[in-house]
Amino acid sequence: MNQLEQLKQFTTIVADTGDFQSIKAFTPRDATTNPSLILKAVQKPEYQPLLDQAVRDHAGLSSGDIIDRLLVTFGQEILKIIPGRVSTETDARLSFDTQGTIAKGHALIKLYEAAGIDRERVLIKVASTWEGIRAAEVLEKAGVHCNLTLLFSLPQAIACAEARVQLISPFVGRIYDWYKKSSGQDYTGADDPGVQSVKQIYNYFRKFGYATEVMGASFRNTSQIVELAGCDLLTISPELLQKLAESDAPVSRKLSPETAQQSTLNKFILDEKTFRIMLNDDAMATEKLAEGIRLFSADAVKLEKMIDALR
């Protein structure tokens, strides 16, 4: 078996792309999208018609509402290919707006349901700010399942688990980027700070019985992926899926509920004040969270400008 086939024995593989052909090629169970991936996709000739149609069919709506319909259109097409769930992101500019995020989550689910898609096949992606986590808690209670993204630290993860969100996406590669730039050294395998962060989160969740799924995300190389074999899910770009498929190097399970019980982690109570001070104390997590929100927001603005240019 190649590495991708071996990995599928331990972990649910998710495609991190808006490219339908890539999803077909690697047969993942789930798929994730974000504004940056959709922006990248609609600049390809084969996906331009989806943008043109969204603008044409909803000309009377705001650019933001047209983006929602474009995201759902991509989600619908992806769900025709995969057997599982698609993740669709809320506007990153709502990252500190609890009520706005709740409203956007409900709006996206209504669009899916109007298209005949069961809400169980959709995860609403929300930034792992305190406000975003609170919004996800409300959405989950209403039966709208969430994927908490831009997650870089244990306190963010614990707050999500205590809010009983469906799934979190800790970002391996962006943590790696920060430490590589900060220290001036490279990291591989188990020494990678991004890998260590996801292992810590996974072990904490399984040791203390949280049901929230852990999905490693934002990978820079296959070494990071292989080191997290056994994580609940891993969302992987088409480029790295291809590299895994081309390698027959052995893959062994690194994470499991059994090994999590052996960890020395202690459980702690996390209120808003503790969350904020712990996140503030973590320079990497604070900087990468802010940067991620800025980048996703900027790509949403670019999409809006593309739509306005087509009107």
Given the residues 104, 125, 199, 288, select the one marked as catalytic.
125
Q: Which of 126, 155, 152 is nearest to 140 (CA)?
A: 126
Q: Are 54 and 70 contacting, i.e. CB atoms less than 8 angstroms apart?
A: yes
Of 118, 42, 113, 45, the C-alpha closest to 303 is 42
Q: Three-state SS for 287?
A: helix
Is residue 125 flagged as an active site residue?
Answer: yes
Dist. CA 301–CA 18, nearest whole Å: 18
In this structure, how many other beta carbons lie within 10 angstroms of the beta carbon of residue 113? 12
Cα end-to-end span (Å), the chain: 50
Query: Tokens in use for 4?
Result: 């991708």
Torsion of CA 232, 237, 242, 248, to 10 degrees: -30
Give the catalytic positions in this structure: 125
